[in-house]
Amino acid sequence: MKRVYVWTLPSRLFHGLFVSLIVGAWITVQEDQWLSTHVAMGSAVGVLVIFRFVWGMMGPKYSRFGDFNFQASELKEYLVSILHPTRHYIGHNPAASFVMIAMLITVVLTVISGIFAYGVQENRGVLAFLHGEYFQKMDDFKEIHEFFVNLLWVLIAAHVGGVLADRLLHKTDRTLPSIIDGYKNIEGENAFLSVPQKVIAIIGIGGTVGLLMVTLSVPNNILIAGYNPKVDYKQENPVFVNECGSCHTLYPPTLLPKESWVKLMGDLPNHFGDDASLDPVDHTTVLAYLLTHSAETSNQEMSVKMMQSLKNRDMIAITQTPFWKKRHQHISDDIFKSDRVKSRANCKACHSDVEQGTIEDNAIKAL
Ligand code: HEC
Ligand code: HEC
């Protein structure tokens, strides 16, 4: 029987890792508390794609870009005669070649835009230094990232659709199984690996897996380290801690705008059904502290998003703000009423860092 070895082990491992990391990145972006894992997977894909570009230039037959088919005339001929193929392609057919290269380029752009978004919005990772200058534009950076993600889904759909079509139309070629065992039922020259190619493969695949393991296991490694400062409120303003942290979570002043704090402090005797009055000296101290550290003064994501969502309203209940409601809409009432949480306003039951002035994604406790 006709048989040809098309995909060497590194090409197949690349494919398996590529699929796993993209699926993993998609799963882990669903919940804020998994964002570091999402970034670890995205970074690993970045390294993997660099390896694939090197492999495309120096790799074995069929995996090299030189063996792809990028001629428009061939693409046309392939598509026109797709039902009655005149030619069997051993490596990538012309349509697959275009989709593959577009996919690789799109992944690069997705990873780069993701690192930008992570730096600008979260103040984390290698580009965190951009946060101070561009935090007002955090949504734009995120949208660019999402644009490339969507483009990637289109290309993945085209790739999977192509493979399925191939299975129906060119059944005997074994295109689908070949990505597992490397063989297609076509006549041709077998691919093989030279020693330098083996070395490149070990560095590329090993580097990807190694990077993933390090980013997942070393806390605060350079790819995910965060730079939002932790505040020691006790040291900064003990009166604020004693007066405002005795009945409930010590809400960071950076969570509400000046107007809200003025209004809240103006009616302490009727404070959510409690009397939280302060003597005049303490009142002045606490109000001044709240105003100098209000949401307007902070460029953290939570403050920026809170300000954007509030427009000109002077709400005093954080849990009534549109931003808070939106971020917690998928959490059921039962969880908020559970013994562990008790109230929506009990932020510290879920956000272990809130009393240090941050709400980091990786400090959200499992529900
Ligand atoms: C005597 C107890 C008491 C003291 C002292 C107190 N509060 Fe409260 N506060 C409450 C109660 C009760 C609520 C309602 C909590 C709930 O909805 O579960 C509340 C709610 C709040 C909320 C709204 C939380 C939400 O629902 O989003 C803010 C903001 C707040 N307090 C700020 C302060 C500040 C600032 C101080 C210090 C000046 C302070 N509180 C002192 C009892 C107190
Ligand atoms: C029952 C647990 C729970 C309570 C109580 C809770 N949160 Fe959250 N909060 C979460 C979860 C879970 C998320 C992540 C939501 C998601 O994945 O989109 C979140 C997200 C957030 C975010 C967005 C973080 C980001 O980086 O996207 C902010 C800000 C926030 N919470 C503030 C608060 C404040 C302030 C309080 C108290 C007034 C509070 N939360 C109470 C569970 C809770």
Write down the pLDDT at residue 78. 87
Write down the pLDDT at residue 226. 95
pLDDT above 90: percentage of residues in the chain: 84
Q: How far is CA 169 from the centre of its chain?
A: 37
pLDDT, averaged across the chain: 94
Residue 257 has pLDDT above 80, yes or no: yes
Give the number of residues written for the chain.
367
Vertex 283 angle, CA 279 and 285, to 5°: 125
Global pTM reads 0.90
Vertex 199 angle, CA 198 and 201, to 5°: 65
Neighbours of 35 (CB within 10 A): 19
Q: Could you give the CA distance from residue 321 to residue 187 in angstroms, rounded to a whole number?
A: 67
Give the burial class of 226: count Cβ atoms within 10 A of its Cβ; 0-12 exposed, 13-18 middle, 19 or more buried: buried
Write down the pLDDT at residue 34. 95
Hey, what amino acid is at 183?
Answer: Y
Residue 1 has pLDDT above 90, yes or no: no
pLDDT band, residue 240 (cuts 50/70/90): very high
Write down the pLDDT at residue 298. 95
Domain ranges of the chain: 4-217, 233-363
Residue 190 has pLDDT above 90, yes or no: yes
91-129 pLDDT, tens digit per residue, is: 898 999 999 999 999 999 999 999 999 999 999 999 999
Q: Could you give the CA distance from residue 219 to residue 227 in angstroms, rounded to a whole number?
A: 13
Candidates 2, 12, 114; CA nearest to 55 is 12
Neighbours of 143 (CB within 10 A): 12
Write down the pLDDT at residue 102. 97
Range of lowest pLDDT (52-56, 71-75, 194-198, 265-269): 71-75
Q: Could you give the CA distance from residue 104 to residue 46 in angstroms, rounded to a whole number?
A: 10
- The finding on whether 111 has its CB within 6 A of some atom of ligand 2 is no
> What is the CATH code for 4-217?
1.20.950
Residue 169 has pLDDT above 90, yes or no: no
pLDDT above 70: percentage of residues in the chain: 99
pLDDT band, residue 243 (cuts 50/70/90): very high
138-156 pLDDT, tens digit per residue, is: 999 999 999 999 999 999 9
Q: Could you give the CA distance from residue 155 to residue 6 in angstroms, rounded to a whole number?
A: 23
Write down the pLDDT at residue 278. 96
148 C-alpha vs ligand 2 centroid, how far in Å?
A: 27
Range of lowest pLDDT (32-36, 170-174, 257-261, 351-355): 170-174
Candidates 21, 32, 6; CA nearest to 90 is 6
Check if the beta carbon of residue 253 is closer than 8 Å to that of residue 303: no
Spell out which residues line ligand 1, taking CB within 6 angstroms: 243-244, 246-248, 251, 264, 271-272, 274, 276, 286, 316-319, 343, 345
Selected residue with higher pLDDT from 158 and 168: 158
Q: Could you give the CA distance from residue 37 to residue 334 in angstroms, rounded to a whole number?
A: 28
Write down the pLDDT at residue 175. 87
- Point out the ligand 2 atom lying closest to the alpha carbon of residue 344: 5
Residue 312 has pLDDT above 80, yes or no: no
- The finding on whether 352 has its CB within 6 A of some atom of ligand 2 is no
Region 201-207 average pLDDT = 98
- The finding on whether 328 has its CB within 6 A of some atom of ligand 2 is yes
